[in-house]
Amino acid sequence: MCGIVACAGEDVGDLAVAGLQRLQYRGYDSYGFAWVNEEKGVIQTRKSVDSLDDLQDQLPRCNAVLGHTRWATHGGVSVENCHPHSARNLEFSLVHNGIVENYQTLKETIVTPAYVSDTDTEVIVRLLEIALKTACSRPEALRDVLNRLDGRNTIVVLFSDGEMLGVREGSPLMLGKASNQYFLGSDVFSFARTTTVCCPVAQRHIVRIKDQRVEMFDETGEPCEIEWVLAELPETDVGRDGYPHYMLKEIMEQWQTVSRQGMLAGTDLDNFVQELKHCGNLLVTGAGGAYFACVQIAWLLRELAGFRVLAVPAYEIDSMKPLYKPGDFLLAISQSGETADTIQAIETATAWGMRVASLVNMPMSTLAFLSEFSFANHSGPEICVLSTKSATAQVTFGYLLAKSLAGQNDTGEHIDKLSSALSRYLTDTTSRELQELAASLLPTHNLFILGRGLFYGSALMAALNIKEASYFHAEAFAAGELKHGVIALIEEGVPVILFVDKDDSYMLNVASEVKSRGARVIGIAYENNELFDDFICMPTLSDPLLATVCGMVPCQLIAYHLGVHAGINPDKPRNLAKSVTVQ
């Protein structure tokens, strides 16, 4: 959830600020920095619950600095609960990403003066204070502390003499290097503008940066080799390009990102398809919006290729064991590649003997390393908490996979036409039209979305986006459920969004049924109908199945404008973070 950045080298304060700004999607409740004042030989800190974007004066000149952007799990949003947290004698400061699941028990066993925060992280500080008194070395003390913690925890410590230690268990940590500079970060984008030479820190390995040197120690404390690799990163500029919010920027650039996803076809995909055909059984999993993408992908694989596949939320995978055997495949989907529930699902499936493939947007993520086959979205950094361009890229991948399984090799032409159609659709004119529609919806505070077949997943994703961006009550249902209870919720003036495919008389009957009960019918369709009170036109496509991608776009814009009209920053919805690294 939280974001960590650490820099060591000559005058790295500005690099730390820039790196942390690129990590705000991981949590934005508060931020903080700790650095070494070398003249005085002490650690100084700066903490704030304001936006990091509002940081007026940069950090003073320093050669070692920690930064942290927080998503609150224990303790409210306050300066006292901001990271970094410091030792009482200011010997060190540390930052933490994760949850200490046994922090209450540990807190009871530590005899110490009153705690100054409500966080579980402060327990780590107190444990490290104690461990440093008896351990033979700082890495040994940090390892002793890690051994006492339950849960997924990543810790980076800065000592007053400039030495840094980093360790991970579960939550991600990347090591990077440039000329006379070293970096630690929650992902490679945190230091991508400075270097792409990096090393993913392995589980329970400790990194030590000291005197312009870096060392790594394995689980037993023995030195081990650092395996540097070159990360192939997409464009890492995280500016808004003149848009008022990242969400709008990321929606409007989807004509490019689906095109990049369409270039995926190659040897790796061909090999994966051959292995899938051999085993004949697939489980697709994810959490949140990624799970709704799984619903779309599973439908495409069944419809196009007749393939045996189910979608299941990552946190419900245990119930699938009777249906799958060793050698079957699990396809895990996650924008960040660090979603804790999805990583747990992979570990569970691997224990059953299943083989693993993944689809991620973040290079060198944990899911990618755990997978036999790993595929990338190529969507670039997605800063807004809501999944927009990553979601359409995920479903585009599902289309590519389904077509390949079906032995149809005409995907390139269809995706090129999809990209062209979206480039014509994603205009200021379309945005303004949906802005007006959103403004008219705001007083109702209630919305239902119905879809079926290829649009069922689109409806689920639409409701999630609207809830996240605007706190508007939006619920999605399979259209067939209408007469089995949902229709009791329809009353005079309530808006109902319907996804209507070409020549879909079933959905037109649904429109008639809700309209007869007073609903305001909003049709997302290829052509208008007298039953629609409002009509949102979808672009015509060379392959109608790609409407699974286009169908998500109008409701993304409705969600965005609902949030803006409600006075909410849709990039930073309350209580949410982009990368859910805790369970």
Tokens found for residue 64: 């070692």
DSSP symbol at 430: H
pTM of the model: 0.83
The amino acid present at 469, given as its one-letter code, is A
The dihedral through the CA atoms of 290, 296, 299, 300 has a sign that is: negative
Cis peptide before 381 (omega within 30 of 0): no
pLDDT for position 280:
87
Could you tell me the strand order of the sheet in which 534-537 lies? 473-478, 446-451, 495-499, 520-525, 534-537
Rounded CA-CA distance 96/106 in Å is: 16
Q: Do residues 351 and 310 lie in contact, with contact meaning Cβ atoms separated by under 8 Å?
A: no
Chunk the chain into consecutive blocks of 10 residues (it has 583) and report each block's average pLDDT, rounded to whole numbers: 87 85 75 86 85 69 89 74 89 91 85 75 92 94 94 92 92 88 87 83 94 92 92 65 92 92 76 93 95 96 95 96 96 91 94 96 85 89 88 95 90 90 94 96 92 95 95 94 88 95 94 95 96 94 92 96 94 72 51
User: What is the SS3 assignment for 495?
Assistant: strand
Residues labelled as active-site residues: 2, 578
Tokens, residue 81:
């609960």
- Torsion, Cα of 148, 150, 151, 154 (10° steps): -10
Domains, the chain: 3-230 (3.60.20.10), 246-565 (3.40.50.10490)
Alpha-carbon distances of 443 from 473, 523, 574, rounded to whole Å = 12, 20, 21
Q: What's the token pair of residue 168?
A: 């991970």
- What does the block give as tokens for 297? 């992908």
Task: Give the per-residue pLDDT at 413.
Answer: 87
CB within 8 A of 397, min separation 6: which ones?
A: 261, 264, 297, 359, 375, 377
What pLDDT was estimated at residue 352?
A: 97
d(CA 387, CA 292): 11
Through-space distance between the first and last CA atoms of the chain, rounded to whole angstroms: 10
For residue 4, the tally of other CB atoms under 10 A from its CB is 32
